Amino acid sequence: MDYLSKLNPQQREAAQHKDGPLLILAGAGSGKTSTMTRRIAWLVREEGISPYSIFAVTFTNKAAKEMRERVEELLGSEIRMWILTFHSACLRILRRHAEALGYDGGFVVYDPTDQKVVMRSLLKAMNLDDKKFTPVYVLSIISDCKEKDMTPSAFAAENESSPVGKVVGELYASYEKTLKKNGAMDFDDLICNTVRLFEGDGIILAQYQGRFRYIMVDEYQDTNYMQYRFIRLLAQNHGNICVVGDDDQCIYQWRGADIRNILEFEKDFKGTKVIKLEQNYRSSGNILDGAHSVISNNVGRKQKKLWTSKSRGEKITYYAAEDEKEEARYVAGEIKKLHGVESEDGSGVKAYSDFAVLYRTNAQSRNFEEAFSVFDIPYRVLGGLRYYDRKEVKDIIAYMRLVQNQADDLSFLRVINEPKRGMGAKTIERLETLAAERGVSMFLLLSDEEILNSLSAKAKASVKSMITAVLELSDERENLSVSDVYDALLLRTGYMRALEDQDSVEAESRIENLLEFKSVISQYEKDEPMISLSEFMERIALLADIDNHDAEEDAVTLMTLHSAKGLEFPVVFMPGMEDGLFPGWRAADTPGGMEEERRLCYVGMTRAMKKLYMIRARQRTLYGKTGFPAESPFMREIGEDCLDKSSTVYEKKKVFRAFPVANDGFASEEVFRPFARRYIEENDQENDQKDQAEESCFAIGDRVKHVKFGDGMVLETDEKTVTVMFGGAGRKKLAIGVAPLKKIQ
């Protein structure tokens, strides 16, 4: 097989680079995955490099799976090599060497939902106001510390003069102790602990340095400090490191990504060869030129410009809607108009899955969901409540974690009364105290016959049955399939029976979700027949939002611009092109903020293959406040020859603004911005009163949620009642002010 025949000259040059550091600057849609996979094939088949000594690392499971499948197409499925995400690779290493860090090899991985549960319990134990110290706020600081390799003691020393900092420092220390006690790590720990393992044990580090002689890193611009250290440690001896990335697509600095890693790669690895992939295979000429005219305004970037051999294509449509409602109706109308229409190049009819709406904030999605429902357009929101975050799925996962690790108090507390076992809050509190005194987990404490005998007869029988089931499955887990463990837990814990006994619409929905989870397990077992329970738990723990994107589902995709990274669509809509929304109002005040927002705009534009719409609203209500924002400065950066301005009022010299403008072209901080924190904080009381008044005020088309019936849409309303169509329960007429009904924002 000629592995390089389909590559262009620059791709071929990159694929044939063998030894020494290599930086591939790969623009959007420039075929970087093809280049990387064919380089692997060339190294193995033409240079005789063992696949065992090649390590390819990516950021998402989706990207890792795609790369793995392409390599197997080229080299055969029998070739086994590490093509993993950062977290998966570090988890695999830690499973083998956890003891060196004082962990058991069966440690569990806590996802963000689990982390919040831990933090809430710590806040309660310390009698702290969870509104002042919100779990999300505290956990974000802890995550930032771990990305900078700052320990709780170092954080406390740095913040000893700050009352808030001291409290957060105590929470950080308690959080770490809780995780260690539960035999758990969070996502940040997977990277941090692997780096600490390598730096603390030269023998283990040498083992992996000796094995991985050729390292390839995808999306290198998104690496943070600890990921950088991990890669540098592995490559520091042989220097055979190839990184692929695009500084113009670094959009995750807010979560630790350090653009300096790619901008200064040549300084870190002397003798680096730099190859630019600038030929784009995705987008038409007008889209590429428009995107370049925006990104070229950034100062902190390496010079390059994408080009394509494709035609100029359609110009970028720029539309100014009256408000956010009309904006959503316009998008829905355009989709209806284009759906089912033969493409100009004869490639077929446009399916709903060909369309994507990419917005700056999740709060923008509601209007599009409502409009699509009215227009009968199927859609899918990416980044909403994940399937794996649903209560019943989290419950059964907690049981599976206990089978894997009986030291996990978080999982134990989640399921000890799921289903009800007669364990009251005071009983659980006493057991928690006793377990802490004895230095054992609550599960192991209840395994003691003496402790079991102290419970009521009903609680004893129920708890003992659960404990026995978990222990027996744990002892036999190496001999059981994941499906066997799952089925046994549903039956032996009484979880499924309890749902069946409820005989309600909500219970039926939960049973369906549990059956769907069985389908998930079956698919994993089909792909990997020998997958173990611990391996399966790792797979689902490391899933990201983008991994939930199903390209086969015929529905319009709604997602944030950040979530769209790595995806492409024939038709893309970018609403909310307004100053204060995109770029966000914080951008001008944050070092590098405007440049990152501009990169985000560039990423959004280059998701479009054939048609791109950029839309603004002259008036917008967001977070309960109405304003008249100016158009986004990014729109004024796009070359006029790329824009179709026929469907909007667009005057470059006369831009309507509802408030004064500072010398830098952005709105003055002293005036009203509908998205400004200052305005929201000053009007908290007014917002609360308005929310309470609106709670019982419904309009036709409102999306609502009922405690029992779930989500629905308002069909009719009068002074006393509201008629709602629910997805599972059908049409219901409910009393306003009595029924537990809330609007979905």
> In angstroms, rounded to a whole number, what is the distance separating the alpha carbons of residues 211 and 281?
35
Length of the chain: 745
Q: Kind and range of the H or E element at 380? A: strand 379-381
How many distinct helices (H) and strands (E) make up the chain? 30, 22
Q: Give the whole-angstrom CA distance, residue 489 versus residue 497.
A: 11
- The three-point CA angle 611-616-619 to 5° equals 160
Q: For residue 716, what are the CA distances in angstroms to 106, 699, 707, 720?
A: 54, 8, 20, 11
Name the pairing type of β-strands 703-706 and 741-743: antiparallel
Are 277 and 245 in contact by the 8 Å Cβ rule? The answer is: no
241-245 and 22-26 beta bridge pairing: parallel
Q: What's the token pair of residue 620?
A: 């917008």
Phi, psi for residue 307 in degrees, rounded to 5: -140, 165
CA atoms of 431 and 580, how far apart (whole Å):
52
Q: Which residues contact 526 (CB under 8 A, 6 or more apart)?
A: none
Give the whole-angstrom CA distance, residue 331 versus residue 371.
9
Pairing between β-strand 721-726 and β-strand 710-717 as defined by DSSP bridges: antiparallel
Chain centroid offset of residue 162 CA: 32
Confirm if 84 and 93 have CB atoms less than 8 A apart: no
CA-nearest of 613, 632, 616 to 573 is 613
The angle, 0 to 180 degrees and rounded to 10, between the axes of the packed helices 533-541 and 505-527 is 110
Q: Is 217 helix (H, G, I), strand (E, B) or coil?
A: strand
Residue type, 490: L
Residue positions annotated with a catalytic role: 32-33, 218-219, 249, 607
Both tokens of residue 693? 């008044």
Residue 583: asked if its preceding bond is cis (omega within 30°), the reply is yes
Read off the tokens for 195.
């780096």
First to last CA, the chain: 55
Q: How far is CA 623 from CA 124, 316, 524, 679, in A?
A: 29, 29, 41, 11
**31 Cβ contact list (under 8 Å, min separation 6):** 7, 8, 11, 277, 279, 281
Burial level of 270, CB count in 10 A (0-12/13-18/19+)?
A: exposed
Q: Report the 10 Å Cβ neighbour count for 568.
A: 16
Q: Token pair for residue 563?
A: 């979530």
For the beta carbon of residue 295, count every other beta carbon within 10 angstroms: 26
List the structure tokens of 335.
């989709």
DSSP letters, 56-124, are EEESSHHHHHHHHHHHHHHH-TT---EEEEHHHHHHHHHHHHGGGGT--TT-EEE-HHHHHHHHHHHHH
Residue 77's Cβ-count burial label (10 Å; 0-12, 13-18, 19+) is: exposed
Query: Tokens in use for 379?
Result: 């859609």
Residue 473: exposure state from Cβ atoms within 10 A (0-12, 13-18, ≥19): buried
For residue 521, the Cα-to-chain-centroid distance in whole angstroms is 21
